[in-house]
Every structure is written in structure tokens, then in C-alpha cells.
Amino acid sequence: MSKSVDARYRGAMRPALPPAATARRVVERPAVDAETFGREIATDYRPVILRGQVARWRAVAAGRGGDRAMAEYLAAFGQSAGAAAKPLEVLIGAPEIEGRFFYADDTLTGFNFHRQQVPIGALVAELLRFSEAETPRPHALYANAATAPEHLPGWETDNPLGLGIDAPARLWIGNATRIATHYDASINIACVVAGRRRFTLFPPEQFENLYVGPLDHTLAGPPSSLVDPDAPDLQRYPRFAEALAHASVADLEPGDAIFIPPLWWHHVRAFDRLNVLVNYWWEHRSSAAFLALVHAIGAVRDLPPAEKTAWRSWYEHLVFAPDAARAGDHLPEAARGILGAPSGARTGKIRQFLIGMLTRA
């Protein structure tokens, strides 16, 4: 590895990060133990930076040695697992996209990247080649959400999170990339292993100011904002100025982590030539809510105004009111059915009721 590349990744010659679009910063605190995380952070509905949370990981130590050390560390998992390690799904974009994975054009029908199954060794070899050659405009490469047990067996033993989270580690490996503003349906903690990342976060209530793209034709699961926070076109998307007024930024170094509650929108930018992030999603509470929203768009949105107003009172009383969970208290407990308290039995009743209704529809 050239001295310039090695020095940059040791922190001596790395270029400064460009200015953030907003000066507001995400709240941060030092690393926490599992009890504190569960009591004070996972139950709160705001993002939090956990500085140095995974600084003792072996992977983070490998990354401090530079890109070659990081690449060799990653490739070793594929070599030790042999045929047991599945290839990773890698997003590949031409140099012209400058790392921003997005729609191909204004029709929003195609994407500016393609997907390919790539072994971990081949991926990191290509990333290392770009890095050591200091390729000015490389192809954008990004392995997304590769589950450690399937793709890097042994990772979790080598790098335990230790926060009491029952979820597999997922790896995100690539070069300098930008991931469009999106939300997660699950609670999320993301840990930076190598390279620097910037998260630009927007509260859920800024949804209408983010100009969200298609709900049913997305880049990688959840819908995304059409606005580039790094270069917003405020003539085309004027309400985005209001979203930026409520945005906050988290600049993370290797060893840092960030906790992101469900439905918080976030744009993720990786700055360096080889970047590795690990995240954990758990308690998938909002996926069903999204499905209910989609069904409501078809079933409620286009009703005559008077009928929509009538249904609004149902939704307010049974779903959104602070005491909505007590809406069935006037019924005998055995007769409450789908209005009963949350339980596995009630979930089963709701599922069967919906299947029956949809079958007859």
C-alpha cells in the first residue's frame, strides 16, 4: 500500500469532511452497557450517537491498519468458510453516478445501478485495487445488508455487540457511496468499522417535506426521498428547506455507533475508499403499519369527502387516540376479539379476520 493511502486511513492525511447541510448535531454519549442501552436508549424515540461503542472490535482494529489490512481481514472470513459462505449482493454503479445510488432518470422507472452476486474475496480485492491505485472516479460498489451468519461466518464471534440485541449482524461494504434518504421499519443500531460516515436524519413528521418517491418501486425496500441533501434543488423541491431546518447530522468515525428509531429518515454517506458498516435491525414493528397504510390508500383515500370524514372518526377512536387501547372496554372481555389487548391470540384473530374479509372482497 502506498504511504499516502496508509497514512490517510490512519488519520494523518485524511481530507476534512465537507460541510454538513445543517449545523444541528445528533445527541451523543459515550459507550454504554447492555442494561443502560435497554433502559435509556432503546426505549427512547430519538437518534443517539454512541462514541466508541465498538472501538474494541477486532474488525475496527484491523481497519486502523489501513485498507489492505481491512481487506485481508474481511477476505479471511470467506476463505475460512469456503463454500459455506454465500456470495454478497453487490450494487454496482458506473463512475458517472459518483457513488449516489438512485433512479436512472426522471421517469423513476429504472435504476442507475445493477446488482450482482460477488464473493467477499472478489469484492474486497476490487475495492483494494481502486484504493491502492487511488482511482479518481471508480465504479461505485456497495454490498448491502449481508447477514454475517450466511456471508461472513464467524464475524459475530469475532465482533460481539454485547447490547442484548437478538438480531444478526448485517454488513455494508463499499467505497465512497451515498444512500438516498430512507427510513427503516425496525429499530436500528449502526456501527462504523472502517471509513467515515455521515448520517443526515429527519424526524418522521417531515415526511411531506421530503418528496418521497414511489412506494411500490423502490431502490432497496423502503421508499426514498427524491431530494439529494448534499445538493438540494429547492426550486424543484421547495418544501425540502423546511425539512432541512429540522435535520440533524451525525459524523461517525470507526468504532462509533448510532441508534436510529423506526421511521426516522436518514441519508447515509460514506467518504473513504474502503468503508465497512455493521447494523442490527430488531423489533420489526412498523412493517405491518406500512401495509395498512397502502391498503388505506386504496380503500379510504379516494372515498367521497363526507365518507372520509366519517372514517376518520373511526381511525381516531380505534387507532390514534391516546386511549385507543381501551376502545373495547365496554364489551365483555370474551367478546372483545380484535379489540382486545395485544397478544399472540389477538394477532391470530386479526390475521384470520383480514384473510376472511379479503377473500370475500
pLDDT in tens, 318-332: 999 999 999 999 989
> What's the pLDDT tens digit per position in 18-43?
888 877 999 999 999 999 999 999 99
Cell of 250: 451525525
Is pLDDT at 136 greater than 90 in this prediction? Answer: yes
Domain ranges of the chain: 3-285, 303-360
Q: Say which residue, 354 or 9, is predicted with more confidence.
A: 354
Q: What mean pLDDT do residues 150-162 have?
A: 96
At residue 6, the pLDDT reads 43
Q: What mean pLDDT do residues 149-175 have?
A: 96
> What's the pLDDT tens digit per position in 255-284?
999 999 999 999 999 999 999 999 999 987
Total count of residues recorded for the chain: 361
At residue 283, the pLDDT reads 83
User: What is the per-residue DSSP string for 343-361?
Assistant: SHHHHHHHHHHHHHHHHH-
The fourth-level CATH superfamily of domain 3-285 is Cupin (2.60.120.650)
Angle at 138 between CA 135 and CA 141, to 5 degrees: 135
Q: What mean pLDDT do residues 99-108 have?
A: 97
At residue 258, the pLDDT reads 98
Spatial neighbors of 310 by CB under 8 A, at least 6 apart, are none
Is pLDDT at 163 greater than 50 in this prediction? Answer: yes
> What's the pLDDT tens digit per position in 300-311?
999 999 999 999
At residue 9, the pLDDT reads 41
Q: What mean pLDDT do residues 191-214 have?
A: 98
Q: What mean pLDDT do residues 219-241 have?
A: 96
Q: What mean pLDDT do residues 2-25 have?
A: 64
Is pLDDT at 228 greater than 60 in this prediction? Answer: yes
Is pLDDT at 5 greater than 50 in this prediction? Answer: no
At residue 85, the pLDDT reads 83
At residue 82, the pLDDT reads 63
Rounded Cα distance between 111 and 109, Å, is: 7
At residue 80, the pLDDT reads 74
Is pLDDT at 1 greater than 60 in this prediction? Answer: no
The edge-to-edge listing of strands for the beta sheet with 248-252 is 100-101, 178-182, 265-270, 197-202, 248-252
At residue 287, the pLDDT reads 80
At residue 279, the pLDDT reads 98
At residue 13, the pLDDT reads 58
Spatial neighbors of 167 by CB under 8 A, at least 6 apart, are 280, 281, 282
Is pLDDT at 286 greater than 80 in this prediction? Answer: no
Q: Against a cut of 0.95, is the pTM above it?
A: no
Confidence category of residue 83, pLDDT binned at 50, 70, 90: low
Under a CB-based contact definition with an 8 Å cutoff, are residues 200 and 267 in contact? yes
Lowest mean pLDDT among 8-17, 47-56, 187-196: 8-17
Between the alpha carbon of residue 84 and those of residues 115, 122, 202, 203, the distances in Å are 21, 16, 40, 41
Is pLDDT at 50 greater than 60 in this prediction? Answer: yes
- For the chain, the average pLDDT equals 92
Lowest mean pLDDT among 94-103, 147-156, 210-219, 349-358: 349-358
At residue 296, the pLDDT reads 93
At residue 4, the pLDDT reads 39
At residue 42, the pLDDT reads 94
At residue 357, the pLDDT reads 83
Confidence category of residue 190, pLDDT binned at 50, 70, 90: very high
At residue 10, the pLDDT reads 42
